[in-house]
Chain A
Amino acid sequence: MIKSAPTDYRFTAPRSLGAVFGRLKNTGPLFWIMPAGLCVLLIFGYSIIDLVQQSFKYQGDWVGFENFNLVLTDPLFQTAIFHNFLLLFTVPILATLSFLCAVLLFETRKGMKFYRSAVFLPYILPIPVVGVVFGQLLQLNGALNSALRAMGFESLALDWLGDPGQALWTMSAIIIWKEVGFGTILILARLISLPLETLEAARIDGAGFFRLHLQVTLPQLRSVILFYIINEAIVMVSWVFNYVYVMTNGQGGPGNATVVSELYIYRSAFQNKAPELAATAALLLLMATLIFIVGFFRIQSKANKGALDE
């Protein structure tokens, strides 16, 4: 008696996920990349193509460069771009402060881990939380001003967020407060991985603290600092929405004192119901970021080559 005739073969459901994959012997890379690849194509590929299309249309009709004309001549857009440009001035400040903090941490034996965690903490806090807390501290009668007044610096107690001439600079200070930890950690990690010999040799030759770090350490940190600078430049041009939105209730106020390009896009699309203009502004922003992306890409591929050579 034949126990299992070939005709008896029934498709049995695989018992586990492993069994499903077990049937696939030689899969090839496409099989593995497909799920992620499709997702990336949808989120980035589709979006960017659709963005370009939308920016040449108005309510479905082709209008050529009309949207670009409207956006570029819109005084609010010009103001927004100018504010992003002003925010770029925080980048050299951030790079300098990060370098100083990293060197200080590097030179400290006692309590280095504690200081490092503390300096880094602002970077991981959610911007909505940071925005709301600073928003409270910086009120005209908030904690900061009450402390300043108590110490007798009455004239320094400004209307940090309410004064249109002051608000953007206050915002910059908060961004610096938050972002400096990132640079510090980045630079410190590189600093620790540097060969100690050159540093020790310079120290024995009698180089003081400042000379040592400016002439021996700094040149060796060039690529990581450059990476940080490009990264922060991208942040200032296209990742500051959260700060502005939270601290000004989505208005970019007082007046238009803190409107940035991202808020312009958000407001055009969702408050003024002009998605075409928003798409156009977004495309312009993407092109501006592209300049930085090229720089970013070149550093990245250089670093990759270096890693492979090792």
Chain B
Amino acid sequence: MSKQHRVLEKAGITSRQLILILITAMALVPGYLMLTGSLKTQKDFLNSPWSLPLHPNFDGYKAAWNDQFPTWFRNSLFVTLLAVLLTITMAATAAWGFAHWKWKGRDFVLGVLISLMVVPPVVLLIPLFTLGAKLGWISTFRMLILVYIGLMLPFSIYLLTNFFKAIPVSLTEAAEIDGATDFRTFRSIVLPLSGPPLITLTVVNLLWVWNELLLALVFLQSDDKKTLMVGITGFQSRYSLSIPTIMAGMTIATIPLLVTYLFGQRYFITGLTAGSVKGE
């Protein structure tokens, strides 16, 4: 390699590195402003929004974590955990029904299920709201959880079916010859092998439910039932005179998600590449 060539290549690597740093900065800037803004006073923020909070001030957090914020947080936690747990259970059994038995029309049903992944929730909103009103289930968690489960099932079943199909038939057949029931085969052979896809689904679905806004907005109308995402959209106008309070609220809302993401990043990426995932 000639000297000139090498210099050119070095320059290429450096410039690429610089572009990456620039992209990274752009990706992180709003997060930086949110975090530093939450630790400033209103006056500091207006004077120098970009500076570091040299004298951290936690008044924003105190103000944000007052009245209804803890309730919203609890509601979100409850809805998210229950919806995800039920979804995974139902999806795992259904996927086993798809993967283990060959039956007429199976591929067609799976195909329909896959295409349901892209039906926008707003399309289902009005019929489901009418149904909820008829049942008297508006502003109940069970209605929202039911809708969430229904929306998460297609992708969850799709992902698990693909995984279960890859389990060697010889393993399950051996168990059946030994007289194991279907349930036993599923529990002692299939589930122990399925750790990674189950974690992937849990992470992907946790993030989706936690971030969901439209359905929670419509189905939970009373103030004490609101989820965090619905609550914080109203935060803006309520605390319009205190940006640090707004930023502190946003930071608190992001933390559970960030923890999930940091622990489950690998699984989350697997889930995304396995098919389409709606992040919102």
Q: Which residues of A contact B (CB under 8 A)?
A: 18, 21-22, 24-33, 35-37, 39-40, 42-44, 46-48, 50-51, 54, 101, 104-105, 107-108, 110, 114-115, 117-137, 141-143, 146-147, 177-179, 181-182, 185-186, 189-190, 209, 227, 231, 234-235, 237-239, 241-242, 245-246, 249, 262, 265-266, 269-270, 275, 278-279, 282-283, 285-286, 289, 292-293, 296-297, 300-301, 304, 307
Contacts and interface: CB of A to CB of B under 8 A. Distances in A.
Interface string B12-34: 10001101100110111011011
Contacts of B147: 43
A32 B96 contact: yes
Interface residues of B, number: 92
B27 A44 contact: no
B198 interface: no
B136 interface: no
B62 interface: no
Contacts of A269: 125-126, 129
Contact of A282 (B28, B122, B150): B122
Nearest to B122: A262
Given A21-B183, A104-B16, A136-B243, A279 B280 contact: no
A209 B11 CA distance: 12
A33 B98 contact: yes
B81 interface: no
Interface string B147-169: 10111011001000010000000
Contacts, number: 280
A249 B232 CA distance: 11
B98 A297 contact: no
B182 A26 contact: yes
Nearest to A296: B118
A44 B119 contact: yes
A262 B120 contact: yes
A35 B90 contact: yes
Interface stretch (B52-60, B63-71, B109-117): B109-117
Given A118-B27, A135-B236, A262-B122, A39 B90 contact: yes
B233 A132 contact: yes
B196 interface: no
A12 B121 CA distance: 45
Given A121-B31, A125-B257, 14 more contacts: A26-B182, A43-B146, A44-B116, A110-B17, A121-B28, A123-B279, A143-B33, A179-B279, A189-B269, A231-B276, A241-B213, A249-B237, A266-B218, A269-B129
A50 B133 CA distance: 14
A40 B268 contact: no
Given A133-B34, A189-B269, A47 B128 contact: yes
Contacts of A105: 20
A239 B181 contact: no
14 contacts: A36-B157, A50-B131, A105-B20, A108-B20, A121-B261, A124-B279, A130-B30, A132-B246, A177-B27, A181-B27, A189-B272, A262-B120, A266-B214, A289-B123
Nearest to A108: B20
Contacts of A265: 122, 125-126
